[in-house]
Amino acid sequence: MTIPREELEKMVRSWLDMVEEITRNEGLPVIPAEKTGDPLWVDVRELRLKYLIPISRVKRFFDGLKEGKVYATKCPVKNVFFFPPQADCPYCMDENLEWVEIDGEGVLLTYTVVNVKPASYLHYPDYVVAIARMNEGFNVLCWMNVDDVSKLKIGTKVRLVVKRREPEGFLTYYLEPV
């Protein structure tokens, strides 16, 4: 089931209106619990959380997405890849990591279909989340574009592509069967 965001906001709004009416009539924001009828106080306060997350030390990764490329970082001393990329190598204390474009080919390790979605994903149809082992040896976890998920097999060859995620419009990476 997909619920468009406008629809969701309308549902929340109408519920809040109902609580407000109860508060006006009864003098208290108290509603009965659905199953037991026990009185529940509807919190008068509401919090909206949207984080501001620094990305300056891995900015190259996001610049890469704009060019249709996916980058990992690599420690030249330890020869270790980091994906998702990180700016520091904790093993040799080095911060001069190299940016390496991912070859983009790999093999499917595992996957699932998210049927019951979190609140902030209710506007999406059910989506496939997969993990693939890339040729370089590290794994990538992301959504997988697949026509018929019932035919998907572990071990299938996959490739990484950069696309916009709609309706949100941001650039991100997807796996696709080769």
Partner 1 sequence: MKKVAIVGVGHSRFGNITNMNLNELAWTAVKQAFEDAGITQKDVQMVALSNVGGWSSEPLPAISVNEYSGLTGVGTYRIEAACASGSAALATAASFVSSGSADVALVVGVEKMNESPTPTAVELIGRSGNYFWEFSMFGLTFPGYYALYATAYMDKYGASEESLAAVAVKNHYYASFNENAAFRKRITVEDVLKSRPVAWPLKLLDSSPITDGAAAVVLASEETARKLTDTPVWLAGIGYGSDTSNLSKRPDFLGLRATRKAAAEAYKRAGVDPAKAARNFDVVDVHDCFTIAEILAYEDLGFAKPGQGHLLAKEGETYKGGLVPVNLDGGLKAKGHPIGATGVSMAAEITKQLRQQNPKERQADIVKGMGLSHNVGGTGHYAYVTVFSLNKPGW
**Footprint on this chain of partner 1 (rule: CB under 8 A):** 33, 35-36, 38, 40, 43, 53, 83-84, 109-122, 124, 127, 129, 131, 138-143, 149, 154, 172
Report the residue number, 24 or 153, with the smaller CB distance to partner 1. 153
| Nearest distance from C-beta of residue 87 to partner 1, angstroms | 14
Rounded (to 5) percent helix, strand, coil in the chain = 20, 35, 45
How do strand 157-165 and strand 105-114 relate by DSSP bridges? antiparallel
Distance of CA 12 to the CA centre of its chain: 23
In sequence order, the β-bridge partners of residue 131 are 110, 141
| Nearest distance from C-beta of residue 127 to partner 1, angstroms | 7
Report the residue number, 11 or 178, with the smaller CB distance to partner 1. 11
Report the residue number, 22 or 129, with the smaller CB distance to partner 1. 129
